Structure 1
Amino acid sequence: MSPVIKTPELPPVVAGTAGHVDHGKTSLVKLLTGCDTDRLKEEKERGMSINLGFAPCLLPGNRVVGIIDVPGHIDFIRNMVAGAASIDILILVIAADDGIMPQTSEHMQIIKLLRSPRLMVALTKTDLVDAPALEAVKSEIADFLKEHGYGDSPIIPVSNITFDGIDQIRSALDGMVSSVMRETDTRAFRMNIERVFSVKGFGTVVSGIPLSGKISIGDEVELLPSGKRTSVKSIQNYKHNTDNTYASVCSAINLKDIPAEEISRGMTIATPGYFRPAKFAAVELMNISKDFPIKNNTEFKFHAGTSEVSAKVSLFGKSSIEPGATAAVRLKFNEEVSIASGDRFVLRRLSPSTTIGGGVVISSSGTSIKINSEDRIYTSMEFARNNNFFEAEVLCGVNYLLEHAEAVRLSGLMPQAAEMLLKEKVSSGFLAVLNGGHYLVLARRGELSDRIRKGLEIFHKNQKQLSGMDTETFCSTFDIKAANFARIIEIFISETDSEIKIINGKVALKSFAPAASSRIMQLKDKLLALIEKSGINCVAHGTILETGAITEQELKSVIKMLVDEKLIVVIGNHIISMRTFEDCRKKIADIIARKGLLEVGDFREATGASRNMSVALLEKFDGLGFTKRLPKGRVLLKGK
């Protein structure tokens, strides 16, 4: 890597050329930068750019802006896509002796799909045409620019032979660099790898344009999709050594202890733990073709950054996307690809190889996004359009309940910034805080509400005599941690249109009434009150029947209901409330923690139970696997 000469100012702005093959893009870049971006032998022999060329252009005030020389030949459109995704200022190169050509139009379409850059036209080879012809081609270009929404862009005649117009190009570029207002992507560091090579004495070097974040010498990085980790040995921007690099600045990064053979173009390096390779993505797709509808299950070539994979389209609520229309779709890739919310992409037909459309990635969560989630996907699309990537990812994610670590990952932000974002989303009502560092995505609570309603309908159908679903069953049925039960119930009951209610700690639909008769329900409430009042002095079946207030069959029905609802525990011929039973469990644990062993006398003293009742209760706990009887007393089983 080259020694330091003088460190320039590096605005986070990228310029690039585009245009038809042999219109003079590389020669123009060489005049502006002094660099020949045709670095490959094949490029020299063919007289065209195949891969992207990066060159630094020195502007007034010791500012340097990178210029990408994008290949123009139709065979290398995929490389053009990789460059166009980073361009803030486009220098559209058109030869005066040719005018608008096929790749001129396709490049313009791709640029518009990937970015909305500032634009100027470099009208090259002006030395090859006379004045009338020059005016005619300028008029043709002006109409072309107006058609594509760039009617105010300057058209600057230039000659790569006489150098006329070069200063005007540089001056226009300087002005555009100062006026570019790109919103900085503050997410964790990520860079698509454009080139990988080995430098003697340094080792493996990867180059590209970082998409987000900042990285410094010594930082750990992750290679995607392989997941291998390495660290940064040194960094250069335009041959200047630096301690760190950041988004939108052409960078060469020297990696530690990893051979170049394990890295390839199309891979990504990133801050570890944030970005995951995806097999599925939700995207906003615009059909730019003139007469080709994009139909369900059609396969295309997907280009994003330096990646190129096959992708099959699944439509949300549509049978096709007509020419000129835009819609949200799900893409399924034939192999994992490293993308993130907000990334721009292009789709090309397999045959003939033409650009059919493109757009922006809404979510790259790596999970299968259901096609019936149409409303949610279009809401996510609006968030992604406005660079609200966290909301877009969360709404498209697999779950409406988020663990804290996953929420931080989906934010893409470093820990301190992520915490600030999460607090903001709680304050705004997008998230609700649960226990244990969990969140409920309030914008998706309807999904959980629907699931609870359907689950309760099935439960009530199968358990007609029960008043509702107990906490344990509720949490296991709906994948909710027990610590979050009370908070989630509070959220749903507080809603004006809530369909659920709580009866004796049980969850039920408001519209549900137990199938038992009113007499059975009254007997149930009275018996439960009696059992709870009796405490450790358990009530016996016979004692209850002796009152004459209940028949034996009624007692059996009521006991079954109370057991099913986990309100009581039956021990032989005696009945104890679940509350008293759990209190006994706690006292057993406390005694064993203090003394190491539990004897019957210890239990009797702690609870006030009779000897017979104490023995029965302790044998019940043995049977449940909570305790184990040894010759000298009882111990807790491992893990209890």
Structure 2
Amino acid sequence: MIIATAGHVDHGKTALLHALTGTDADRLPEEKKRGMTIDLGYAYLPTPEGGAIGFIDVPGHERFLSNMLAGVGGVRHALLVIAADDGVMPQTREHLAILQLLQLDSLTVAISKSDLAGPEALEGVMDEARRALAEHGLRAAALLPVSARSGAGVDVLRQHLLQLRDQAAGTERRFRLAIDRAFTIGGAGLVVTGTAWGGRVNVGDALWLSGKDVAVRVRGLHVQNQPARQGQAGQRIALNLVGDIDKRQIQRGDWLLEQAAPAPAARVSVRLRLAPAAHATLRHWQAVHLHHAASHCTGRVALLERPQLHPGDEGLAELSLDRPLLLADGDKLILRDAGAQHTLACATVLERQPPTRGKRQDERLAHLRALAAAGSDNVQNLRLRLSRQALSLPDLAWDRQLSEAGLAELLRAAPLLTAGQHAYAPEHWAELQGQLLERLAALHLQQPDQLGASRGRARRLALPQESEAAVNLMIDQLLAEGRLANTRGWLHLPGHMLAFDAEETALWRRLEPAFTDQGQPHWVRDLAAAAGVEEDTARAVLRKAARLGHVHAVVRDRYFSSAAIRGMAAIVHSLNQDAGYADAANFRDQLGCGRKLAIQILEYFDRCGFTRRLGDRHLLREARLFD
């Protein structure tokens, strides 16, 4: 478990941590010299069970608030320190606003320097603290007077903190750790530290380092300042890493991930919750500072429901980020004004890939509200997302931070169809199948002299946005149900028939005798000359004959009879069975033709999908295509 400190500068946070743990969390020489915390510091309190509670000592000075926000990311408990001789100060309220927006599991308030105030003054500060908490809608798990100098109340505070427990560790999710420090140790090498947001990590695990986008391996672990073989969500972890990386290439805000991440998001849909302070207002397209985990960037807020939000309001918005961030569903970002003077709101991520149009339509806003209401319910979130479009399974796993086992369990819990790397709601799947059939019907009306379309053309015409695997599965289902027919590789509606008209029939009877010599190809110009017709007229009839399955054009204007093609397909099949492949040489020898014609025929079989080419070899793909 990790506890972040909070409070105004010089209210005794670091001294109190020293009294609680025996550790001086001020680690930088400048901090020692100036007597104030500038960057994050760390201290650990051993627990009776053999573990440790980690403390993050965050800066209290307003100039270092970005460092404070880097320290509270992913933390579920806070210790607010208010000095008895000072009372509630501006940074106390700023920190309270941040803690209220983050909705932590618990907040403990320590009234420090209690030995510097008399009983009445101390009670007055405690009353002031209660009022400040109430103004921010917060309630303290405990409000305790302490003195780091005399030790008064420190034991009581320590026992209270030891009794705290994390409500939701998130160990079932993917491992994700926000890096806040990187350094090298002699004899060990590169070490990074941070807060684990989810999952588990073990010595020997392979991880992905964002920023540099390289794979690294975990050589060693320290968890809550103790050597360990495993770390998990909700802990401070130091990882000794091995890989093609050095300290200079790592920045605060980078992530260590269980798997490679998708591209960082530059736009996200969010639910905003504004702080109750009077200055907390947001206008459409207002410039803001955004803090997420250990990252900080700037951006703008596009309000979706109304042009302005006021203190305490909630609303839907889209964040446009000047620097893309690695975000997942449910992640929280703290928004501060353009001058970085005031905390304005907390944004909870609802959607990592918002559409580019129709953002303010009623249906769209209702969908975002439903996503917000679903919260951490993975099944409901999945149903909502499937109701609108096909869903990429890798994107779903990242957005919900699901392990492979977690994704499989979720897919079993929701009614859906999977095709390749996409999932579909049954209703959406049926709509897409209907769309495919409607487009084929339109094609039959537009081109009645064509038998139908190939699989590839059907996909381009009807469902260009869907994956090839999904469209092939739809077609297979429609064929099995008898709602679609396949004639020699052409897809068409069952009632659609192709036939010669009377004039075409007469011409075909004049051309057909040439194909009784089944092994020989014929050029269109020769057939036209023999029949005494125009070349274009003969070409049109032969094309239709090919669609009817009477002949096949291995190259433009050069035709074989269907019987000849089947015979040559049998040779290719035999060569694949005997030699493992067909090529120009062995096929030419079997067929007794020239090398050029052998290559043309083999390439025709590749185009048809009967074979596939690998170098100069043609390997059997579908043995029954020309049966």
The two structures have a TM-score, normalised by structure 2, of 0.74
State the 1:473 CA deviation: 1.0
- 1:125: how far off? 2.5
Question: Aligned equivalents of 1:587 and 1:468: distance in 2?
Answer: 26
What corresponds to 1:4 in structure 2? none
Letter in 1 for 2:293: G
Corresponding residue number in structure 1 for 2:215: 229
2:415 pairs with one of 429, 446, 454? 429
Equivalent in 22, 26, 29 of residue 41 of structure 1: 29
What residue is the counterpart of 1:104 in the other structure?
92
Separation (CA, whole Å) in 2 of partners of 1:275 and 1:401: 15
Instruction: From 417, 424, 448, give the equivalent of 1:441.
Output: 424
Mapped to 2, the partners of 1:324 and 1:23 lie a distance apart of 28
Tell whether 2:191 aligns with 1:188: no
Shift of 1:388: 3.0
**Residues in 2 aligned to 1:636 and 1:38: alpha-carbon distance in whole angstroms:** 66
How many angstroms does 1:409 deviate by?
5.7
Aligned to 1:400: 390
- Asked if 1:267 corresponds to 2:233, the answer is no
2:145 paired residue number: 157
Equivalent residue, structure 1, for 2:529: none
d(CA) in 1 for partners of 2:58, 2:379: 29
User: Partner of 2:163: helix, strand, or coil?
Assistant: helix
* Aligned positions of 1:387-536 closer than 5 A: 388=378, 395=385, 400=390, 402=392, 412-415=401-404, 417-418=405-406, 421-422=407-408, 424-430=410-416, 432-434=417-419, 437-442=420-425, 445=428, 449=432, 452=435, 456=439, 460=443, 463=446, 465=448, 470-477=454-461, 478=464, 480=466, 484-485=470-471, 487-489=473-475, 502=484
2:217 match: secondary structure: strand
Counterpart CA distance in 2 for 1:39 and 1:162 is 24
Which secondary structure state, in structure 2, belongs to the residue aligned with residue 176 of structure 1?
Answer: coil
CA contact (8 A) 1:348 1:354 kept: yes
Distance 2:573 2:122 in 1: 95
- Correspondence for 1:334: 322
Show CA shifts across 1:222-246 (max 9, x none): 2212113332232223442222222
Q: Which residue of 1 aligns with 2:371?
A: 381
After superposition, what is the alpha-carbon deviation per residue over 1:195-238, rounded to whole angstroms, capped at 9, x for unaligned?
22222332222112211222222323322121133322322234
- Tell me the alpha carbon deviations over residues 60-91 of structure 1, each in whole angstroms, 9 at most, x when there is no partner: 45442111222111111111112222332222
Number of aligned positions between the proteins: 572
Q: For residues 227-376 of structure 1, what are the structure 2 equivalents within 5 Å?
A: 227-256=213-242, 258-274=245-261, 276-288=263-275, 290=278, 293-316=281-304, 319-351=307-339, 353-364=341-352, 369-372=355-358, 374=364
Once residues 619 and 59 of structure 1 are traced to their aligned partners in structure 2, the CA distance between those partners, rounded to angstroms, is 77
Alpha carbons of structure 1 residues 453 and 21: separation in structure 2 relative to 1, 3 Å: farther
Counterpart pick for 1:78 among 44, 66, 76: 66
- Alpha carbons of structure 1 residues 409 and 72: separation in structure 2 relative to 1, 3 Å: closer
Q: For residue 222 of structure 1, give the secondary structure of its aligned residue in structure 2.
A: strand
The residue type paired with residue 109 of structure 2 is V
Tell me which residue corresponds to 1:589: 572
C-alpha distance in structure 1 between counterparts of 2:453 and 2:114, whole Å: 82
In the alignment, does 2:136 pair up with 1:148? yes
Instruction: Tell me the amino acid that sits aligned with residue 69 of structure 2.
Output: V
- Structure-2 separation of matches of 1:332 and 1:231: 34
Cα distance change on mapping 1:223 and 1:138 into 2, 3 Å:
same
Worse overlay, 307-316 or 155-164:
307-316
2:12 equivalent to 1:24: yes
Pair 297,223 (structure 1): closer, same or farther in 2 beyond 3 Å: same
Closer, same or farther: CA 622–490 of 1 in aligned 2, 3 Å: closer
Cα shift readout 1:411-433 (whole Å, capped 9, x = no counterpart): 64444x25xx3254145214x13
For 2:164, give the aligned amino acid: M
Conserved? CA contact 1:312–1:333, under 8 Å: yes
Structure 1 residues 154, 475: CA separation in 2 closer, same or farther (over 3 Å shift)? same
What residue is the counterpart of 2:120 in the other structure?
132
* Secondary structure of 1:193's aligned partner: strand
Contact 1:362 1:380 in 2 (8 A): no
Residue 173 of structure 1 pairs with residue 161 of structure 2: yes
8 Å CA contact 2:107–2:139 kept in 1: the answer is no
Secondary structure of 1:194's aligned partner: strand
Shift in CA distance, 225/337, structure 1 to aligned 2, threshold 3 Å: farther
Structure 1 residues 58 and 561 mapped into 2: Cα distance closer, same or farther (>3 Å)?
same
Q: 1:591 to 1:23 in 2, by over 3 A?
A: same
Decide whether the 8 Å contact of 2:179 with 2:256 is kept in 1: yes
Q: State which of 94, 115, 119 in structure 1 corresponds to 2:107.
A: 119
Code of the aligned partner of 1:475: R
What stretches of structure 2 of length at least 5 have no aligned partner?
A: 525-535, 608-613, 620-627
Q: Give how far 1:377 is off.
A: 5.8
1:209 aligns with 2:209: no
- SS state of the match for residue 368, structure 2? helix
Q: Residues 471 and 203 (structure 1 numbering): CA distance in 2 closer, same or farther, change over 3 Å?
A: closer
* Structure 2 Cα separation of the partners of residues 447 and 362 of structure 1: 27
> Which shifted more, 310-319 or 106-115?
310-319
Does the Cα contact within 8 Å between 1:225 and 1:338 map onto a contact in 2? no
Distance apart, 1:336 and its partner CA: 3.8
User: How far 1:583 moved relative to its partner?
Assistant: 5.3
* Aligned CA distance change for structure 1 residues 329 and 491 (closer, same or farther; 3 Å): farther
Superposition deviation, residue 186 in structure 1: 2.3
* Structural RMSD (CA): 5.0
| Cα separation, partners in 2 of 1:347 and 1:151, compared to 1, 3 Å | closer
Whether the 8 Å CA contact 2:178–2:194 is kept in 1: the answer is yes
The verdict on how the C-alpha distance between 1:259 and 1:455 changes in structure 2, with shifts beyond 3 A counting, is farther
**Which residue number in structure 1 is paired with residue 80 of structure 2?**
92
The answer for the alignment partner of 1:10 in structure 2 is none
